Amino acid sequence: MKLNDLGEFGLIEMIRGIVGPAGENVIKGIGDDCAVVESSNDKVMLLTTDVLVEGVHFTKGFMSPENLGRKALAVNISDIAAMGGKPLYALLSLGAPESTEIDYLDKLVSGMSSLAAEYKIDLIGGDTSLSPELLFINIFLVGESSKDKVLYRSGAGVDQVIFVTGEVGSSAAGLDILKRALSIKKYGSLTGAHVSPHPHLKEGEIISSSGFATSLIDISDGVMADLGNICRESKVGALVRESDLPISEECRQYCHINGPDATDFALYGGEDYVLMGTVPEHLYYKLRDSMNSGGCSVYPIGRTKEETGIKLQGRDGAIAEIEPNGYDHFKDRRK
């Protein structure tokens, strides 16, 4: 068996099986957006890391070095947001070819530093290395949360409302535009969603503080893949309603004119970095009111079910079971 047979999530499960149970101070190890570790009587540490590799996660010609630096940190902040926490400290590991222009690296780190300042994150160290050909960026981010407010993927119950905190599909549309070398000026909101995502940290804090939600995750690999993670960890199924997916009018118009399927982008595209979670039906409107009071939004897109598997209800009312596919580093994205 090769890595492309096993896939990203199969590799994670293999690693989880090899390392075995974590120590007594570890509340949550492998299997969520962050690891959660005991800190004090009422606080826990949230630990997360993400790597961005040139040619896999980004193409230099598609974004400025400033935006690349911001995005590298933003995807980590999104993991902290998905646990309802607050980011505190970041470490940067950077590998670059010897031919890399110093000005490029200066702008990359400046972009990262500017986003860190916005979220009051301290960049406190890391490592640098020579890379034979390609640029890679790895960030380790430390956050914290109240122990009783942390949200996990594993808390969803049966017949609960599935919600998202923002539009989905825009990042995938933006990447499609960049690949086609279409007008960035014409489609700026979509390309912006891809090259400079906005982590929903405030949304995560409101959801966590409300105490209404039962699970939470950020949409990095796509609605279907990340909902699959919630379902697998919570041992529930799900029904998603296509008509309720919050897809921007710009995304719909772009797809209508240029051919891609907006629903496909929304379900499988990934890198939207909005949050998705579950909440009991009788608490959904209270959650919505809390979000609206904080200037944030929430959109119901389906329900969890007792029977396993994920089903999609089309606009015509027909229901079909679908695989929870999304972006997988070692497999084709769509089956």
Q: Retrieve residue 130's tokens.
A: 């020579």
Are residues 305 and 159 in contact, defined by beta-carbon separation less than 8 angstroms? yes
Helices (H), 20-101: 65-82
State if pTM tops 0.85.
Answer: yes
pLDDT at 335 over 50: no
Residue with tokens 């993670």: 229
Strand-pair partners of 217: 276
- Nearest partner of 238 among 154, 141, 313, judged by Cα: 313
pLDDT in tens, 14-24: 887 888 777 88
Distance CA 248, CA 169 (A): 8
Residue 38: burial class (beta carbons within 10 Å; 0-12, 13-18, 19+): middle
- For the structural domain made of 3-149, what CATH number should be given? 3.30.1330.10
Q: What does DSSP assign to residue 120?
A: T
Distance CA 160, CA 280 (A): 5
pLDDT value at residue 150:
97
Q: Domain ranges in the chain?
A: 3-149, 153-322
Fold of the domain spanning 153-322: Phosphoribosyl-aminoimidazole Synthetase; Chain A, domain 2 (3.90.650)
Residue 109 φ/ψ, nearest 5 degrees: -70, -35
Q: What is the mean pLDDT of residues 175-198?
A: 93
pLDDT value at residue 331:
53
Residue with tokens 């399927």: 261
Give residue 187's identity as a one-letter amino acid code. Y
Distance CA 184, CA 62 (A): 10
pLDDT value at residue 30:
87
pLDDT in tens, 210-224: 999 999 999 999 999
Distance CA 184, CA 311 (A): 35
Query: By three-state DSSP, how is residue 117 classified?
Result: helix
pLDDT value at residue 86:
98
- Taking residue 118's Cβ as centre, other Cβ atoms within 10 Å add up to 12
Q: What does DSSP assign to residue 247?
A: -
Name which of 76-85, 201-210, 322-331 the model is least confident about. Answer: 322-331
pLDDT value at residue 22:
78
- Nearest partner of 272 among 179, 185, 203, 184, judged by Cα: 203
Distance CA 85, CA 141 (A): 12
Distance CA 210, CA 182 (A): 43
- Going along the chain, which residue ranges are E strands? 26-28, 35-38, 43-53, 86-96, 122-130, 136-146, 160-164, 215-218, 237-241, 275-280, 299-305, 310-313, 319-322
Are residues 325 and 335 in contact, defined by beta-carbon separation less than 8 angstroms? yes
Distance CA 190, CA 228 (A): 25
Residues in the chain: 335
Are residues 257 and 190 in contact, defined by beta-carbon separation less than 8 angstroms? no
